[in-house]
Amino acid sequence: MKGKNYYIPNVLSIAGSDPSGGAGIQADLKSFSANKTFGMSVITALTAQNTMGVQDIHLVPEDFIESQINSIFQDIIVDAVKIGMMANSSIASIISKNLRKRKIKNIVIDPVMVAKGGATLLEKDAIEIIRKDLIQIADVLTPNLPEAALLTNTDIATTKSEMLTQGRRLLDLGAKAIYVKGGHLDSKNSPDLLITINDEIWYEAPRIKTINTHGTGCTLSSAICANLAHGFEIETAISNSKQYVTDAIKNADKLNVGQGHGPTHHFNNLW
């Protein structure tokens, strides 16, 4: 139900759970809230993880994932959807089928494949489903460099030129926009690249000295999703989100969570 003077968008995350709160559904909901939207979730997988790594994964049955999606859409207007951990081809197909029949706007796909600690979060058979099916419904695809390499079947980019080439290949697969995250690049700054049919825009930010970067990809894609739900054009949504995540990383060391890669500070601008 819309308010009288101001409409708060409803934004859905379809992703895995992180009980330590730094990534996955938990990070998405924090990012949605910090970017002034109402967050909802459909859980695809339960993980046992912390700042040290992933210890175990339990996949949610496909029919129950579908039931969660149906429950949301039967009752609530959904203004944007972020897709994160899909785990395997069956779950990826269920998500695609259910979103296609509803013709959802503002779909952001973060192709979560490997956790920061190295654990595999996506089976190989799901990569083809993402390539041939899910990318076509995406308003924005947000791969990091290893993910872009897997999706384009190439080596991991080591230069901005290679990032650009891989981004163009991904755009050719059918998404409206590709946002390649260059955090893995060996450079002084952290360059990200937005590619659309009409533009190629670089977003540069200085690297921040901290090990507390757990869940940055989830946080960024969710922020982009929230900004799109507010009606911002893609360039503005990306710019706003990049600044939000940069500030969250800058303030991450104020938190005291775990002994490994700690989370970013999602509410640094509010606390």
The 3 state secondary structure assigned to 14-80 is EEEECCCCCCHHHHHHHHHHHCCCEEEEEEEEEEEEECCEEEEEEECCHHHHHHHHHHHHHHCCCCE
Catalytic residue list contains 218: yes
Catalytic residue list contains 215: yes
- Give Cα separations from 32 to 25, 158, 204 (angstroms): 10, 32, 23
Catalytic position from the list 213, 219, 246, 264: 213
Catalytic residue list contains 216: yes
Alpha carbon dihedral 97, 102, 106, 109, in 10-degree steps, equals -10
Catalytic position from the list 21, 22, 215, 262: 215
Cα 52–Cα 153–Cα 104 angle in degrees, nearest 5: 75
Catalytic residue list contains 217: yes
Catalytic position from the list 21, 22, 167, 217: 217
Amino acid found at 62: E
- Give Cα separations from 66 to 44, 94, 160 (angstroms): 10, 7, 39
Catalytic residue list contains 209: no
What does the block give as tokens for 60? 């949610």
Catalytic position from the list 84, 181, 219, 225: 181
Residues annotated catalytic, as ranges: 181, 213, 215-218
